[in-house]
Amino acid sequence: MTDVRNGMLSYSYQGQDLFVVDALGGQVGGYFLDSGASNGRKGSNTWLLESEYGWSGVCVEPNAEAFQQLRANRACICLDCCLYDRDGSVDFLEAAGVYGGIIQEYDPRHLSFTRRVLGERWPAGALAPTVSKAARTIWSVLQRAGAPRTIDYWSLDTEGSELALLKSFPFDKYRLRVLTVEHNNGPIREQIRQFLESRGYVRARDLGIDDGYVLADDVRGKSMGQAWRSAVWRGRSGPKR
């Protein structure tokens, strides 16, 4: 395995996994929460951490087909549900595949694109072709997984519900050190930044349609925040696999 600073390949689409390795100084044996884990390999933000750095954690993926692949691909705990701000059930746009999400929270800018992807499966004027899925809060997922009180990394990619999930994170129960959040260059990006800064995080890296954040009072986070506060990330992401 090549050192990250000398060109180690990334499994992530935008180098999110390399950002985490950098942010935590190559930490071995950390713990992750991966929400929107897909099949756990292609484009995964946590596979490198699990396979090369000995991390454990929990992957959450509501898409039935992707979940079957996820369970076969990963040794960590895998849960077939939607991560949400309350327990219960939600209407999930499963037919959209990797673009699936909770319809109540779905990014409105993606609706026209998703309609084109689905074609005849979503006729003009028809309701979205959703299925009912179990929804679990972050608290209940972490409790079920027996997670430690320090979550070293959270990969947050849920096609529109990111801010709701951030606001529901049990910061009083768990210390979250590093996270990457998808924003798709929409207006939600600034709202996410403002909320996380109010919780003590600094935006440390621009990762395309994601932003990378570190906890400011973390020893590593302090140096990263100072070094990258005004820097533009020039990206070292590896090829899509």
pTM for this model (two decimals): 0.85
Residues near 212 by Cβ (< 8 Å), separated by ≥ 6? 16, 19, 20, 23, 178, 179, 180, 203, 204, 205, 206, 233
For strand 56-60 and strand 31-35, is the pairing parallel, antiparallel, or unpaired?
parallel
| For range 195-217, the mean pLDDT | 96
Which band of pLDDT confidence, cut at 50, 70 and 90, is reported for residue 126?
low
- Sign of the CA dihedral running 214, 215, 216, 219: negative
For strand 82-83 and strand 150-156, is the pairing parallel, antiparallel, or unpaired?
unpaired
Model pLDDT for residues 11-30, shown as the tens digit of each residue: 999 999 999 999 999 999 99
Residue 1 CB-density burial (10 A; 0-12 exposed, 13-18 middle, 19+ buried): exposed
Model pLDDT for residues 162-184, shown as the tens digit of each residue: 999 999 999 999 999 999 999 98
**Does residue 221 have a pLDDT over 90?**
no
**Does residue 138 have a pLDDT over 90?**
yes
Tokens at residue 26, please? 């190559």
118/157: higher pLDDT? 157
| DSSP reduced 3-state for 154 | strand
pLDDT for the residue numbered 206: 95
Model pLDDT for residues 73-100, shown as the tens digit of each residue: 999 999 999 999 999 999 998 877 777 7
- Sheet with 175-182, edge to edge strand ranges: 77-79, 56-60, 31-35, 150-156, 175-182, 210-215, 201-207
pLDDT for the residue numbered 172: 98
The top-level CATH class assigned to 4-80+146-228 is alpha beta
Min mean pLDDT across 4-13, 57-66, 145-154, 216-225 is at 216-225
- Find out whether 147 and 31 touch, Cβ atoms under 8 Å: yes
Chain centre to alpha carbon of residue 119: 28
| For range 119-145, the mean pLDDT | 85
- As a whole number of angstroms, the distance between CA 76 and CA 72 comes to 10
pLDDT for the residue numbered 220: 63
Beta strands per DSSP E along the chain: 31-35, 56-60, 77-79, 82-83, 88-92, 131-136, 150-156, 175-182, 201-207, 210-215
pLDDT for the residue numbered 108: 75
